[in-house]
Each structure stands twice: as structure tokens, then as C-alpha cells.
Amino acid sequence: MGPTAVLLLTCPDRTGVVAAVADFVWRHGGNIVDAEQHTDPEDGVFFQRVEFELDGFAFGRDDLHRAFRPVAERFGMQVDVRFSDERPRTAILASRAPHCLVDLLGRWAAGELPAEVVLVASNHPDHAELARFHGVPHHHLPVGDDPGAQEAALLDLLVAERVERVVLARYMRILSPAVVDAFPNRIINIHHSFLPAFVGAQPYRQAHQRGVKVIGATAHYVTEDLDEGPIIDQDVARVSHKDSVEDLARKGRDLEVTVLARAVRADLEHRVLPWGNRTVVFG
């Protein structure tokens, strides 16, 4: 199958939406290969993801959004048009812990993540050899005595490299509003806790002190509110009173790599629709 177009649609729930979208694709020579939808009864909002073949379609990529506008205006839709062969320019940020970075670079090298990884940046020098092995430039941005200057340098780097997606692979720095605002719903973080429990620093120690029986990991979009952005993916593992803080951290690392990879893949495959502080993630 050749490249496909993806319509990500949000609108007030009403009759005729599905029929109108399908009719638009059919009338202009498209073949729908995947369609999913969800209705939120509390907010009265309809969400849909429609993917269709571009071969033989009446409109080119640059004209598709404009051509769909009458349907969007008729139903009051918010519309995002994506394409399956897009490879967003992606930056991976990491601190000292290597496990999420290793996993992401390995999956990317194996062709599992449809992105162009253009850089790895870190506030420590530890990952230079790993990045070099994968043919990705590594940028060491130490914090030193001036955190503001370090983050300004980071933002300058992301802008200069025309980065479209940022993945925080256990990057243990809080991003300023300037960075977050530059990439709305385009920064994905992995938090080593089943949010909203144990936000902030040392969540495994917090969990151990609370005596929890499950631990978790959460991947979410980054907002200015620490660890409160829209959640994309989560998972848990059972633990017991026998587990030390180190045991929890070890078990948690297995969750972190899996949850982050699933969230990044869902985002890159255009399967995530943010809505307020929530997301709809299509399968």
C-alpha cells in the first residue's frame, strides 16, 4: 500500500458526521483503509480517525485541508491532516539513566518508529558514544551555574535543527514555559510513576514509603503544570513488601521503556487526539 492520509477530527456529537466524512473520501476517489471513532457522552464530543489511500485521490497533499473545509465548517470540526510517510524531525533528551534512550534508538534503528531522529541532547556527557553508534549527533548541554542559559541553548538548538517532536527519555530537568510553549502537545515525557500518584521527584521512594502493591509508569504530553499533561499511555507491575526502593526502580525501568515506546509510536502514527487535559488514543 502506498502513502495514506489521516484525518484526525473533533467536533460536537451529532448525526451525519461519519456519513459526511466517508462521502467526502468516496466522492473524491479515496479508499478508506482504517476508521475509528469515539463519543464522549459527558462533553458531547465526537472524535474520529480516518485513514485513506492517497493514490488516485482527487486532491494533493497541499490541497486536502482546503478541500475538506466545507465538511469541517458544516459540523464545527477541528481538523488535523497528517500523512503516513511523514517522518517528523525528532530530538531525544536524556540525563544519566540510559535505558529509555537505548530502547528508543534501538527501535528507531530497527524501523519501528517513523521519525527522523536528528539529535540527542543531554545535561551530562554520558551518551555521546551511544548516539554516535546510531549515527545521531550528540549535544552536551551542561547546566552549570546558569540553568537559564542552558535552557536557552537547548531551545536555540531545537529551533536551529527544525525539530518537530521532542521525547524526554528520562530527562531529569523541568522545562521552562518558553520551551513548552514552542512545542505544544509535541513533547512527550516518561514519568516513573502511575500518575497522578507520586508526582515530582523520587516517586519510587514515595511509593515504597506508602507501601503500594503496584507501581507504574506514565507517558504524557508536557505542559507547564509539572507531570499533569494529557496522558498517552500507562502500565503497572505488581510489587510487595519485600521489594526495596532499588527493586521498585529496577521493575519500573521495564515499564518505562515499554510505555514510552508505545506513546511515541502512537504519536508518530497519528493515533492520538488531545482533548483538554485528556487524550483519545486510537488502537
Q: Looking at the annotation, which residues are catalytic?
A: 227
70 preceded by cis ω (within 30°)?
no
Please name which of 223, 177, 220 lies closest in space to residue 196, comparing C-alpha atoms: 220
Grid cell 485521490 — which residue? 57
Contacts of 129 by beta carbon, 8 Å cutoff, 6+ apart? none
- Integer Cα distance of 77 and 75 in angstroms: 5
Query: How far is it between the farthest Cα atoms of the chain?
Result: 63
